[in-house]
Chains A and B, each alone.
Chain A
Amino acid sequence: MIAGHFGFAAAVKAKAPRAPLWALMLASVWMDVIFVPLFAAGIEPIEKVAGTRGGYGEGIIHADYTHSLVGALVIAVTFGLVCAIWWRRSVAVVLAAVVFSHWLLDLPMHRADMPLLPGNAGTLPLLGFGLWRSAVASALLELALVLGGTFLYARAAAKVARTPEDAKRARTLTFALAGAGLVTLALNLAGQ
């Protein structure tokens, strides 16, 4: 899920206007950003679900460090502490919360592959409600996040715009967010 996380970031921007949009978007996928090199190194592999091609939602993701509950909290706090070097504490707290929102939004989607402790220490029960078993339901949830987030962002950006140029930029960003979200979602679904 990428589009849904970006949709959520756009929605947060409407409520926390001090936080830069690029930082919110980066924060919303920061756990995946850390996951990519670990995946490439074979530390956090993805296993295709038996009988599938491993497309959209058809993978069991062994992201035992980045997507564990404690791992996600550590990553979120670290991200917030780094942001707090330059930005207000309130902005850093929002960004840390957005980093952790990734875990919360992944929870209903994943197929019981998210551990509580890093490395699945103690082999405790794995979490994930498995909405990815239904591509349509997953796509609808992502679509709601994209459209809802874009709507909230567009309303906030229109309010803050002072000049016609600002209003034009706000419209451009609204179309870019909605368009990119829909294209990403379509690509995800086409790849299944």
Chain B
Amino acid sequence: MGPGWRPRSVDSTPAVTVKPPEFDQIQRDPGGTAPEEARNMSFILAIALFVVVVGRIDRRLPWPSPRKEAP
């Protein structure tokens, strides 16, 4: 430290911003849209599965046949 030395101002230090790698990913999905769509898709699949299972059990009951009569 010579006679002309002055402490460097903190403001003059170039700012360094460290961006975590997951930052971009979080910004791209701000509203939670993807989980909402996944939930809707799960709901639709659950309904489809329900219709299939209920339909299979119902078919084993002795209801009259829907098929056309043989000519």
Contact = CB atoms under 8 A, between A and B. Distances in A.
Interface of A: 2, 13, 17-23, 25-26, 29, 36, 86-88, 91, 157, 160-162, 166, 169-170, 172-173, 176-177, 180, 184, 187
Interface size class on chain B is 20 to 34
B28 interface: no
The 5 A-B pairs at the shortest CB distance, nearest first, are namely A22-B55, A21-B58, A87-B66, A91-B66, A18-B66
A172 B61 CA distance: 12
A39 B40 CA distance: 12
Nearest to B37: A40
Interface stretch (B3-11, B13-21, B45-53): B45-53
25 contacts: A2-B47, A13-B58, A19-B66, A20-B55, A20-B58, A22-B51, A22-B59, A23-B55, A25-B51, A25-B55, A36-B44, A86-B67, A87-B68, A88-B66, A88-B69, A91-B66, A160-B62, A161-B62, A166-B60, A166-B61, A169-B61, A172-B57, A176-B53, A176-B54, A177-B54
A187 B59 contact: no
Given A157-B61, A172-B57, A88 B68 contact: yes
Given A20-B55, A176-B54, A160 B61 contact: yes
Contacts of B50: 176, 180
B23 interface: no
B52 A22 contact: yes
A173 B53 CA distance: 10
Nearest to B44: A36
Contacts of A160: 61-63
A166 B62 contact: yes
Given A26-B51, A166-B62, 6 more contacts: A19-B66, A22-B56, A22-B59, A29-B47, A88-B66, A157-B61
